[in-house]
Amino acid sequence: MKGTYLGEFEELVLLTVGALYDEAYGVAVMDEIKNETKRGVNISAIHSALRRLEEKGFVKSRMGGATNERGGRRKRYFVLTSYGKKALDDAQSLRMKLYNRIPNMSFGN
Amino acid sequence: MRKKDHTKPPRWASTFLRNYCRDEFREEIEGDVYELFEARLVNLGSRKAGLLFIWDVIRFFRWSNIKKVKFLNLSQPMVKNNLTVALRVLRRQRMASFINTLSLTLGITAVTLIYFFINEEFSYDQFHSKNEQIYRLVKDNYESENEIRSTSGYHPLPLSEKLVEDLPEVMAATRISHNEYYMRLDGKMQEESIFFADPNLLTTFDFPMIRGDKSSVLSNQGSVVLTERAANRLFNTIDVIGKSIEFRIGRGGFKEFLVTGVAENVPSNSTIQFDILLPYTDAAHYARFKDYWRINTDETYLLLNPAVDRTNFDEKLEMQWTNYMPHKVADMEENGFAPFKYRLQPLSEVHLNTEISGLSEASDPMYSYILGIIGSVILLIGCANFMILSIGRSASRAKEIAIRKVVGAGKKQLIFQFWSEAFVLSIISAALAVGLVYLLLPTFNELADKRIEFAAMVNLQNVAVLTCLTFFAGIMAGLYPAIILSGLKSLDVFRRKVKLGGANLFTKSLVTFQFALSIVLVLGTLIIYQQVDFLKNKDLGFDGKDVIVLKNRLSGKASAQKELKDQLAANPNVLSFAEVSSSFTNGRFQSSYETENGKEIPYFMYRISTNYLSLLEIEILEGRDFDGKLATDTLDAVVVNKAFIRELGPDFKLGDRIENFDNADLKSPRVVGIVEDYNFESLDIELKPVLLSIQRFSGFQDLLIKTAPGKSGEVLSSLESSWYEMASSIPFSYSFLEDDLEAQYAKEQRWASIIQYAAVWAVLLAVLGLMGLVALSIAGRIKEFGVRKVLGASTWHLYRIIVKQYAIWLTVALAIALPVAVYVMKQWLSDFAYHINISPLLLAVGIAILFGLVLLVLAINALNAGKRSTMEALRLE
């Protein structure tokens, strides 16, 4: 079952890629995560996660066009695959299923 | 200098990133970090942005991003071909291969043996599981407030119990002591070395028991624990529990002891060495001194609670003695400083610390270092030979290399090829070295005074070390050839532009280096030998010629003693005889005396009979010899040496009493004579004060017998026969005083032999290398020599040409080696209180020997060159 498991951080990155739709590349993903979660993440961690997600088939990537920014270096853009979307859906539904089973009065303070 | 551009990230970091990053990821990673940098430059300033950039670069440095280095494009056939070529080369060039293999084998053998030695030296006492908690209690004796005079490991007997009682941090204290005593078993007597220890020796230290329970075997007086070795030696079995052995300890008669346990043999790397172990309470001096605070005898080891705060404890321990020794406290108050302080010495440091006097002989770590250096040097010389020969031969292989290059071999493959040749050779050498180590180990053990067994050395660690060593040798030996030869330009080779061979600077400096080392070792050997010779032949202040030292084992048998003496007196070949508590090297009585003003004088004391001084022809400077007829002389008169008088100070005169002196029944004795300082101790120690007394004494260990020159054999044979008539069960044993004295320098002698072996080893290797090199360089000049011969040059002329080529380098080697050798040897000599001065003549002799050897090697080569047919030489090509 290699590749089907989605780690917590990976899920976060995958969600961000989905949310950014066509603008998801390393720095953008990092900034987004920083903004949304107030969590400090190093760019190298984002790269690793993205690469792993691609290997698992959750995202696919393409190189963008050259611009004047970043010393003329191209960006690698990531987009969610349908398989990746399905993985997110599965994770979501699993979470909802469990969430719904929490009885309303069971808070132990 | 280039100006720093603050709008750009740090150069080194970006270069680093570019170099490690895999090509397929480089653009996106670089792009992202640059983008971040640019954004931060605006928000945070250049400094912070730069630092964060570096941080990002470092964070990206992870396995998945790093370029996978394609070091070698190795295919199996290629490796195989390399090995084939390597073996072929080895076979084709027999002489060179022989020299190479021999060099590396000798190198690896030397390093392995030396590694064994060092490994054992530094593993002393590490096998105890509580090793970290065990300490030897030592005391620093102070000369003044801040100046330590000496450090000793001896303490009063009651101390250990008090420390355990008063200091909760001390979990246990173990006193140890040993001595030689008689053992009687099945009616036969023999002398044995007996070890005494508190029962907790076996629980504090790890000396596993084979029979008996370690917590109880020594609890009762009269019990004895044997090691497996001792049990087998005495009873031929290890099932010996309950058997009885008799020991005669101290003055009394024989007493029965029952075997309560058998311990495993003590490892050779243990400071505490016992074969026969008795409870401490059975020691001869125990009953007399168990509550006596004024005598320092045995060593004490402490087991500390692992949770102890050492700083606090050490502070507390330092002056702990003030609670027990009021007389010393009084001294302290008078002098204004503490006469001594206690301190802990970790068990693992005991073996290699020679500063502290104790029961077992410590060994100087310096010797380990010296040996280590010598070993590495020999290995390097071996590797250097390989380099020299490979480079020398390279001319003939240049074509092969060029062809390989043309066919498409890259530099890396060529490097690999040369290295694999070196590795093949070093692996063969390692295998040979293992065999050689096996053969040489007994000799080495004898030289180094070790008990290393080959079988015990075959373990994972040592195999790993040998493998590393082999690799190291291979890498070192192949280093230069691999890099130089692989860098040849094919075109140059084909155009015959390359001039490799014996003449290049690198090989010459290697030869110079080898000879410099050889010179140092040869000179070292000669100087050590001369020093040992000096030690043996120095005028010691007494005459030990024709003196027999007889073990006086008849004490207790008064009639036999008297008969023996009567016989000696009647024997015309016996010039004189005298009794002594112990002859020069057979033990000593060492103590220290405290003067009225608190000065401590360490001294040696010998009990003698009246004609001792005259027998040994010790010169009396002032006063007189002892007179046996004077009652006062046998009561409290002493003769001391000049050193004692010096210590007592200028006010002390002949005839004065040594006030407050109280030791071994002598109270404030009167000095009746002063003798010249004679060297009763080994010459590496400065002369110490000596005190001689003729008081009635029953414990004379030795009888000195001076015979007429050349008559010692006759005296001994007549003595021996009458001895066995008187006491058939007591062994008759004797030695010659001259031999005993020589034996004192066994250690120096041993080192002389070790260094000598090393020197021979190194010279052999250097000469081998030189031989190969000269042969090669002549081979390269065959044509030139042929032409010279045609024009009328003699062999002598050729010889001169060859010598000239090497003379400069040998001179350089000499210029480097001479100061080094002189400096190092001066350091060594300064350890001896009495030593030679390095004589230029000796140095000259050493150098002459070595140079003679070199000239000989060159001569052989020149002869060979001269003999070669001129025709053949010229036809070459």
The shortest CB-CB distance from A27 to any of B25, B32, B55 is to B32
Residues forming beta bridges with residue B600, ordered by sequence position: B594
Q: Is the ipTM above a cut-off of 0.95?
A: no
Please, what is the average pLDDT of chain B? 81
Q: What residue numbers bound the domain in which A35 lies?
A: 8-100
**Residue B601 backbone phi and psi in degrees, to 5:** -115, 110
**Helices and strands, number each (H, E), in chain B:** 29, 24
Is B821 or B66 the better-scoring residue by pLDDT?
B821
- Residue of B28, B40, B53, B61 to mutate, interface with A, max A Cβ within 10 Å: B28
pLDDT at B121: 85
Residue A106 lies in a domain: no
Residue in B closest to A76 by C-alpha: B28
For residues B3 and A94, what is the distance between their CA atoms, to the nearest angstrom? Answer: 59
Q: Name the pLDDT band for B695 (thresholds 50, 70, 90).
A: confident
Residue A94 lies in a domain: yes
Residue in A closest to B63 by C-alpha: A48
pLDDT in tens, B530-572: 888 887 777 777 887 888 888 776 656 777 778 888 888 888 8
Residues forming beta bridges with residue B172, ordered by sequence position: B303
pLDDT in tens, B293-347: 877 778 899 999 988 888 888 888 888 888 888 888 887 888 788 888 999 999 9
pLDDT in tens, B396-434: 677 777 777 777 777 777 788 778 888 888 899 999 999
Residue A35 lies in a domain: yes
Are B64 and A48 inside 8 Å of each other by CB? Answer: yes
Tell me the residue type at B780: G
pLDDT at B230: 92
Do the Cβ atoms of B744 and B682 come closer than 8 Å?
A: yes
pLDDT in tens, B519-539: 888 888 888 888 888 877 777
DSSP state of B188: E
Task: Please give, rounded to a whole number of angstroms, the shortest distance from the CA of A98 to a CA of chain B.
Answer: 36
- Residues found in chain A: 109
For residues B593 and B601, what is the distance between their CA atoms, to the nearest angstrom? Answer: 5
Task: Please give, rounded to a whole number of angstroms, the shortest distance from the CA of A99 to a CA of chain B.
Answer: 37
Rg over alpha carbons for chain A, rounded to the nearest Å, is 16
Residue in A closest to B8 by C-alpha: A71
Are B36 and A25 inside 8 Å of each other by CB? Answer: no
Residue A49 lies in a domain: yes
pLDDT in tens, B637-687: 888 888 888 887 777 777 787 777 776 677 778 888 888 888 777 776 777
How far CA B63 is from CA of B67, B71, B99, B478, B525, in Å, comes to 8, 17, 45, 31, 55
Residue A3 lies in a domain: no
DSSP 3-state assignment of B342? strand
Torsion of Cα atoms, B122 then B126 then B132 then B138, to 10°:
-60
Residues of A in Cβ contact (< 8 Å) with B55: 42
DSSP state of B157: T
B485: pLDDT strictly greater than 80: no
* Highest averaged pLDDT of the listed ranges B79-83, B205-209, B634-638: B205-209
Residue in B closest to A47 by C-alpha: B29
Residue A108 lies in a domain: no
Q: Is A43 on the interface with B (CB under 8 A)?
A: yes
Token pair recorded at residue B253: 């008669």
Per-residue pLDDT, averaged over B176-190, amounts to 83
- Residues found in chain B: 877
Q: Which of A62, A41, A51 is nearest to A14 (CA)?
A: A51
pLDDT at B556: 61
Q: Which of A71, A22, A80, A74 is nearest to A50 (CA)?
A: A80
B798: pLDDT strictly greater than 70: yes
pLDDT at B536: 76
pLDDT at B555: 59
Give the count of Cβ contacts less than 8 A between chain A and B. 59
For residues B693 and B606, what is the distance between their CA atoms, to the nearest angstrom? Answer: 7
Q: Is A63 on the interface with B (CB under 8 A)?
A: yes
Q: Name the pLDDT band for B369 (thresholds 50, 70, 90).
A: confident
Our count of domains for chain A comes to: 1
Min mean pLDDT across B264-268, B343-347, B869-873 is at B869-873
pLDDT at B676: 84
Percent with pLDDT over 70 in chain B: 91
Token pair recorded at residue B14: 């970006």
The shortest CB-CB distance from A71 to any of B34, B36, B55 is to B34
- Type and span of the H or E element at B548: strand B547-551
Residues 6+ apart with CB under 8 A from B364: B352, B354
Percent with pLDDT over 90 in chain B: 11
Return the CATH number at A34.
1.10.10.10
Q: Is B195 exposed, middle or buried (0-12, 13-18, 19+ CB in 10 A)?
A: buried
**Residue B178 backbone phi and psi in degrees, to 5:** -150, 160
Are B28 and A74 inside 8 Å of each other by CB? Answer: yes
B92: pLDDT strictly greater than 90: no
A22: pLDDT strictly greater than 50: yes
Q: Is B677 exposed, middle or buried (0-12, 13-18, 19+ CB in 10 A)?
A: buried
The shortest CB-CB distance from A27 to any of B25, B35, B65 is to B35
Residue in A closest to B60 by C-alpha: A44
Task: Please give, rounded to a whole number of angstroms, the shortest distance from the CA of B2 to a CA of chain A.
Answer: 21
pLDDT in tens, A52-83: 888 888 999 888 887 777 778 888 999 999 98
DSSP for B385-454? Answer: HHHHHHHHHHHHHHHHHHHHHHHT--HHHHHHHHHHHHHHHHHHHHHHHHHHHHHHHHHHHHHHT----H
Residue A20 lies in a domain: yes
